[in-house]
Amino acid sequence: MGDMPIGTSAPLPEAIAEYLAACEAEGQSRATLGWKRAVLRRFAHYADSVAASDVGALTLELARRWQRHLRTAPMARPRRKPGHEGERRAAHTVNGYCRVLRAFAGWLAEAGYVDAHPLGTFRPGRLPTREVEPIAADDQQRLLDACDPRSPLGLRDLAILSVLLDTGLRSSELCRLRVADLDLASGEVRVRGGKGARDRTVALGQRARSMVDRYLQLARPWPDDPDPAADRVFLTRQRRPLTRYTLGRVLKRLAERADLANIHPHRFRHTFGVTYLRAGGDVLTLQRILGHTTLMMVNHYLHLASSDVVSRHRAHSPLDRLPNGRTFRRAARSGRRAASARIVAVKGGQLVLRTDNGDLIEIAT
C-alpha cells in the first residue's frame, strides 16, 4: 500500500479489493467488511455505467451524482410486499453508503492512488430526526406470553427475549454469545467482539438469569458440530448456532402470535436504552452497557416520546414544586370564581353573576 506511486491509475474493482484487504488487516469485523464490500460494489457498478470505472474518475461531481441516484432511483430489489413497488432507499441507508464511499476515497489518497482526498468536502447528507419508539410494557408481556414454556423452542425464545430486554445487546452480539461467556451466579455476561472488536461486560437481572438457566438445563440441544461455534448459547432446531437472520425470523413469528407489528432485534436495544433512562440510569453508564465509544448514539435515547416528556414534566415541574404561597392561593381562588360564574343581569352599574352552585354575586363595574 505504501509503495504505490502517487497518481497511479487503476480500475476501481482492483482498488476496492486492496482497500478491503487493508480494512481486514486493521481488524474490522466480518459484518463491517461485508457491508463495505456490498456498498463499494454498487458504486463500482454505477461508475461503470457512466464510463467512470477508473480510480482517477472518482470526483466530487461523480459522488454527488451517485448520491442523487441513490435518493431518487427505485431499489433494484424492493421488498416483495404489495404496495412496495418502486420503493426508494431510506435516508439513513443513503447516508451510510456515502460515508463508506468517503472513507474509501480517503484511503485512496493515503495509499497513493490519488494526490489528495477527492471527496474531502463531500457530505453524506442530513438525517431526519427519528424518535425512539420503545416496545410498550404491555407489548413486551404479550411477546413473552407468545412463548410456550412447555416446549424446548419456547424456553429458548423466552431466554432470547429476556436477554434482549435486559441487556440491550445487538443481534450479532446475542448470536455470538458462548456458554463460557455466562456467569449466571453473578449475572455477568461477557460480550466479546462487539462493534469495533471491543469486549465489555453486561449484567443480567434475576428473572433473565432464571430464564437462561432453565433453557440451558432443560432445552438447549447438544450440537452435532464439533466446531468451536457449537459452544454458542442459542441454537436452532437443527442444533446449529443462531444467526441474525434466524433471530429475525424468531422475533417475527413471536410478533405475529402476539399480533404486534414492527418488532425487530434493534428495537429491543432501543427499548432497553429508553427504559434504563426512565428508571433513573445515567447516560455514561448506559454508554458503557451498550458498547458505544461516544455519547452521540446514546443521545438518541434521550429523545423520548412526547407523551413521556409531558408525564415527566408533570411529575417534576419546577413551578409546581414550589411551596403554595399566598400569591398562588389568591390567584387560584380568583381563577376559580371567574371560571365558575356567568353574568345573568346588569343592575344600576353592577354585574350580577350566578355561580355553578346557584349563588348570586353582585360586582360593581
Q: Which of 36, 156, 170, 270 is catalytic?
A: 170
276 as an active site residue: the answer is no
Give ∠ CA 191-279-276 in degrees, rounded to 5: 25
The three cell numbers of residue 207 are: 428473572
C-alpha Rg value of the chain to the nearest Å:
30
Active site residue 269: yes
The H or E element that residue 277 is part of is helix 265-278
- First-to-last alpha carbon distance for the chain, in angstroms, is 92
- The one catalytic residue in 97, 113, 276, 301 is 301
Q: Which residues of 282-299 are buried (b: 16+ CB within 10 A; e: fewer)?
A: eeeebbebbbbeeeeebe
Residue 175 Cα distances to 90, 127, 166, 212, angstroms: 26, 30, 15, 14
> Is 321 noted as a catalytic residue in this protein?
no
Distance CA 342, CA 302 (A): 46
The one catalytic residue in 36, 209, 269, 270 is 269
Active site residue 266: yes
User: For every residue of 137-160, which 3-state class applies, written as one string?
Assistant: HHHHHHHHHCCCCCCHHHHHHHHH
Q: Which one-letter amino acid corresponds to residue 187?
A: G
The one-letter amino acid code at 260 reads L
Q: Is 301 a catalytic residue?
A: yes
User: Do the Cβ atoms of 27 and 44 come closer than 8 Å?
Assistant: no
Q: Is 292 designated active site?
A: yes
From residue 290, give the alpha-carbon distance in Å to each of 8, 179, 216, 273, 311.
43, 20, 25, 8, 26
Q: Which residues, in sequence order, are CB contacts of 325 under 8 Å at separation 6+?
A: none
Given 266, 288, 329, 336, which residue is catalytic? 266
Catalytic residue among 102, 176, 209, 292: 292
The dihedral through the CA atoms of 72, 74, 79, 85 has a sign that is positive
The rounded distance, in Å, linking the Cα atoms of 50 and 236 is 45
Q: How far is 356 from 154, CA to CA, in rounded Å?
A: 60
Note the helical H segments in 1-56: 12-25, 30-49
Out of 88, 142, 195, 264, the active site residue is 195
Instruction: Enumerate the active-site residues.
Output: 170, 195, 266, 269, 292, 301
